[in-house]
């Protein structure tokens, strides 16, 4: 019984102390999105294309454990080339939510801190050309991001992430074959957090 009371007291103390110590930062974030449509059928191609992204990022970190999360609201322009060299631009509002761990480095930690992160990203199509009459695009999709980066001078974060599409963004039929497409790709961004 004493052990459970002590454990309860410890959990309660951490629940009160850690949020009070948490550091909140917010700021602009911009970058490049290198995306490809991954298709479930061989012989139908899609080329990698570069788009851009920009928005705002918020971060909450607990300094004692160097652990926290970040969330962003980003405008993303995705460009794809599919089938007969048809280039398509689409615009999304994307909301990535990541768990983040920063590595505390002795001596240089205030100048340079590497970090890793992972989490889901939700993208909602807001505009863009339809591929064609026979391709059915989805209005929203989900991916899972894995990333790494560096925080410099406690304000500038430069990071890269790879997003693996979890849901399809389009489906269509080519020569009586059902084809599904998912967004996969790299995103490289820089954020200035206040």
- pLDDT for 4: 77
- pLDDT for 35: 82
- pLDDT for 177: 65
- pLDDT for 180: 76
- pLDDT for 65: 86
Q: Does this model's pTM top 0.85?
A: no
| CATH number assigned to the domain with residue range 23-192, chosen from the 4 options 3.30.43.10, 3.40.80.10, 3.30.460.10, 2.40.160.20 | 2.40.160.20
Which residue matches tokens 């917010």? 26
Tens digits of per-residue pLDDT, 40-63? 665 455 566 788 999 999 999 988
Cβ-Cβ contacts under 8 Å for 189 (sequence gap 6 or more)? 29, 30, 31, 32, 53, 158, 159, 160
Cβ-Cβ contacts under 8 Å for 183 (sequence gap 6 or more)? 35, 36, 37, 38, 78, 123, 141, 143, 163, 165, 169
pLDDT beneath 50, residues of the chain: 43
């Amino acid at each position: 019984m004493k052990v459970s009371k002590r454990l309860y007291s410890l959990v309660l103390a951490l629940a009160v102390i850690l949020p009070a110590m948490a550091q909140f930062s917010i700021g602009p974030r911009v970058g490049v999105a290198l995306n490809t449509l991954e298709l479930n059928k061989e012989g139908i191609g899609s080329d990698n294309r570069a788009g851009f992204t920009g928005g705002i990022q918020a971060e909450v970190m607990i300094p004692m454990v160097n652990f926290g999360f970040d969330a962003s609201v980003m405008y993303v322009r995705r460009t794809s080339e599919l089938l007969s060299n048809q280039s398509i631009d689409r615009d999304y509002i994307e909301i990535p939510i990541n768990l983040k761990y920063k590595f505390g480095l002795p001596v240089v930690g205030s100048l340079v801190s590497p970090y890793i992160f992972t989490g889901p990203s939700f993208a909602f199509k807001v505009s863009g050309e339809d591929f064609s009459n026979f391709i059915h695009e989805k209005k929203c999709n989900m991916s899972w991001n894995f990333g790494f980066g560096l925080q410099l001078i406690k304000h500038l974060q430069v990071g890269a992430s790879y997003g693996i599409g979890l849901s399809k963004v389009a489906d269509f039929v080519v020569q009586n074959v059902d084809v599904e497409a998912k967004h996969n790709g790299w995103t490289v961004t820089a954020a200035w957090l206040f």
